[in-house]
Amino acid sequence: MPATNETLTALEAVLQGLETSEFRGDTRATVPRESLAEVLRLLRDRRGFDLLVDVTCVDYLNYRDARDRFGLVYLLANTTTNERITLRVYVGESDPTIPSAVPLWEGANWLEREVYDMFGIVFEGHPDLRRILLPDEFTAFPLRKDYPLQGRGERHNFPVLRREEG
Amino acid sequence: MAIELPENVVVSKLDELASWCRKNSLWPMPFATACCGIELMATGASRHDLARFGAEVFRFSPRQCDLMIVAGRVVMKMLPVLQRIWQQMLEPKWCISMGACASTGGVFDTYCVVQGIDRFIPVDMYVPGCPPRPEQLIQAIIDLQDKIQREGTITGREFGLAARQQTKRALVELPIISGAPVLSSITR
């Protein structure tokens, strides 16, 4: 179910000139980075968005009319009214930091760790921001578009065991 | 002076007898990481019946095995585990690389998938296929048996240098990529 008018009014009360759009029954809103924490708290506490469905990221490198390098996507749902909303936040390459949603939804922990692992977005206030899928020694962020598909030789960087060495 | 032998007595070399024992009692270590593992299980099950070739005793402890069957793709995070298990296996030991992914990386030509386990551990037999049928794996085991028979025990690797034995005992952590802290390289 798309976001209700009450939700959009509540958002517009804190964000003047809020950009919203609707596509096939899904409401999308673009939120500036500074007000993300406030907006998330408002949606959870006052509008009943009790479920953080997903946190993910898009790299807009070489993308036409891109507003900034990265676009973070927050999918929220209200499990009593089935109301859903998608928030999009743009962050730049030079300072890819954003406030963490873990204080609001405990489930954001591993979602944000995955975004950090793949894109290098730093979530401020995250209790345990480590890599989640890749080895700890990995030095790059492989889902960034400027990272080569076949890597930079990480997959070949292991000791070789020979037959005579047992 | 000719020696009369009863009909049920066969004369052979001790070396060949030992090889014959070895090749017919392979104990596989199933290192199954993907869909090839399903075919590996089918090979061990009743229809294809790996017991016909004496290799049905799958053990999940590397210390009880002498044949490692790597079935499926191996990623960066798994390779140190694979190498450690290989080092934990007792001599004499052999390795079958089952399927396209284990042998070459297969279609997974990406940053985290190892492009063939033979880059990092020794491999005796390669099985093509995606995934290979059980018959192909059985063929590989038969070929490996021939190889074991030909190899013999005289040049057996388990009687090798003392230095090698020490290498095995001094099994330590395998370093992957040295240095490079993670948090300080955010802009890369």
ipTM of the complex: 0.80
Tokens 């591993």, located at residue: A110
Looking at domain A5-165, its CATH superfamily turns out to be: NADH:ubiquinone oxidoreductase Nqo5 subunit (3.30.460.80)
Which tokens is B114 given? 């190892």
**A154, A155, A160, A164, best to mutate vs chain B, most B CBs in 10 Å:** A155
- Model pTM greater than 0.90? no
The per-residue pLDDT for A50 is: 92
Q: What share of chain B is helix, strand, coil (3-state, %, to 5)?
A: 40, 10, 50
Per-residue CA distances from A48 to A81, A85, A105, B1 (Å): 9, 12, 12, 102
Longest dimension (CA), chain B: 87
Quick check: A161 and B168 CB within 8 A?
A: no
Length of chain A: 166
Nearest C-alpha of chain B: how many angstroms from A153? 8
Phi and psi angles of residue B165, each rounded to the nearest 5 degrees, phi first: -60, -35
Q: What residues have CB less than 8 Å from A166, skipping those under 6 apart?
A: B87, B91, B157, B160, B164, B165, B167, B168
The per-residue pLDDT for B156 is: 58
> Could you tell me which chain A residue has the CA closest to the CA of B174?
A159
Ordered structural domains, chain B, with CATH: 14-171 (3.40.50.12280)
The burial of B174, by beta-carbon neighbours within 10 Å (0-12 exposed, 13-18 middle, 19 or more buried), is given as middle
The per-residue pLDDT for B85 is: 92
Residue stretches of chain A with pLDDT short of 70 = 165-166
The per-residue pLDDT for B123 is: 93
Could you give the CA distance from residue B109 to residue B101 in angstroms, rounded to a whole number? 10
Could you give the CA distance from residue A166 to residue A83 in angstroms, rounded to a whole number? 61
- Buried residues in A61-92 as b, exposed as e (16+ CB within 10 A): eeeeeeeebbbbebbbbbeeeebbbbbebbbe
Nearest to A155 among B111, B167, B168 (CB): B111
Using only the alpha carbons of chain B, give its radius of gyration.
Answer: 20
In order along its 188 residues, chain B shows pLDDT tens digits of 677 888 888 888 888 888 899 999 999 999 999 999 999 999 999 999 999 999 989 999 999 999 999 999 999 999 999 999 998 898 888 999 999 999 999 999 999 999 999 999 999 999 999 999 999 999 999 999 999 888 877 655 555 555 555 554 444 444 444 444 444 444 43
From chain B, the residues in CB contact with A163 under 8 A are: 122, 157
The per-residue pLDDT for B167 is: 52
The per-residue pLDDT for B114 is: 92
> Could you tell me which chain B residue has the CA closest to the CA of A118?
B186
The per-residue pLDDT for B158 is: 55
The per-residue pLDDT for A115 is: 95
Q: Residues B94, B124: contact at Cβ < 8 Å?
A: yes
Could you give the CA distance from residue B98 to residue B90 in angstroms, rounded to a whole number? 21
The per-residue pLDDT for A11 is: 85
Q: Give the number of A-B residue pairs with CB atoms closer than 8 Å.
A: 100
